[in-house]
Amino acid sequence: MESFLLLTLIATAVTFFLTRWLAVYLKRAGVVGEDVHKKGKPALPTSGGVPVFLGFFFSVMFYLFLLTYYFRVKVADMLAILAGTLSILVITFIGFLDDINVKGALRKGLEQWQKPLLSLPAALPLMAVELGTTAMVVPFVGLVNFGLAYPLVLVPLGVMCAANMVNLLGGLNGLESGGGIIYLTALALFAYQNSNLAAKVIAFAALGAVLGFFPFNKFPAKMLPGDSLTYFLGGVLANLAIIGDIEKACLVVALPFLAEVLLKLRGRLKKPTVGLLKGDKIVKRTSGIYSLPHFWMNGKFTEAQIVLRVWAVFAISSLLIWVV
């Protein structure tokens, strides 16, 4: 456990240091977004997934360096760790492309149809080395061996769906990063007890990286996460499920995202999560419920209070992995 905690600490420290520098750089470069729930809608630097991935990357590489040159150990999971890191890099880069498409403080982003297609290449590293177990337990069916359909069909679908469903739930200070800390903590502990070395390394390093970014993203935010962070988190979920063979646990912690997908589809993907500021409270822009935060966007709660309640939903789903 000590070595994995070291992974987390390194990722936290590197991400914290890089976020302070990159926040200034990205704002000067015009990579900004409106903090829509603040008076005056200030323009903040965005694309927090960039320092988060870099913190994750340096932590993972340091761990592999120690295994190779200090402990003189070559483990079979090294290939899986490298493939997973490359997969997460590609998906984070796709999110970054979405973040840098800005005009003034208004982020235009990619078209909705472009995001799923562009996220598919992130599955290629996992497909190329045939990671994951082709036999899966399907509810109401039992054990099914998908054979080549697993790496060629299910893996790219899993990566694409995970990245894009995580991307749907956001828009409030600390929601994405704080939620990520909650379910990554649960998955890191679960992987430590039930999965392989590759899943443990990815989970603990990703947790540390998001922890390093959180102080800049919590209410009131100094930096916005952007799609690069949500895609990073979705990529981590997909890689943990595939590489670590813990699909069930990843699916359970993702229940809030699945609920968000259903709510967004109810609004034909056209109803925004973000609301309108009334005093220091927030009201939704629509008359119905089309996103999880909408349950509390009734003019009675502040942004921070709404985020706390969404975090509670993540905490419940994260606890469920130990009982289902």
Could you write out the three-class secondary structure of 73-142? CCCCCHHHHHHHHHHHHHHHHHHHHHHCCEECCEECCCCCCHHHHHHHHHHHHHHHCCCCCCEEEECCCE
For residue range 219-255, what is the model confidence (pLDDT) as tens digits? 999 999 999 999 999 999 999 999 999 999 999 999 9
For residue range 39-77, what is the model confidence (pLDDT) as tens digits? 999 999 999 999 999 999 999 999 999 888 887 776 778
Q: How far apart (Å, rounded) are the C-alpha atoms in residues 183 and 252?
A: 10
Burial class (CB in 10 A: 0-12, 13-18, 19+), 129: middle
pLDDT of 105 over the 60 cut: no
In sequence order, the 6+-apart residues with CB closer than 8 A to the CB of 151 are 126, 127, 130, 131, 132, 134
Here the tokens at position 150 are: 């697993």
| pLDDT value at residue 187 | 97
- Helix, coil or strand: residue 276: strand
Considering the chain, what is the average pLDDT of its residues? 91
For residue range 273-301, what is the model confidence (pLDDT) as tens digits? 999 999 899 999 988 999 999 999 999 99
Mean pLDDT of 89-93: 96
What are the residues facing 43 on neighbouring strands? 34
- Helix, coil or strand: residue 286: coil
Phi and psi dihedrals of 77, rounded to 5?
-75, -5
Burial class (CB in 10 A: 0-12, 13-18, 19+), 184: buried
The residue extents of the domains of the chain are 2-254
pLDDT of 93 over the 70 cut: yes
pLDDT of 314 over the 70 cut: yes
Q: Is the peptide bond before 220 cis (omega within 30 degrees of 0)?
A: yes
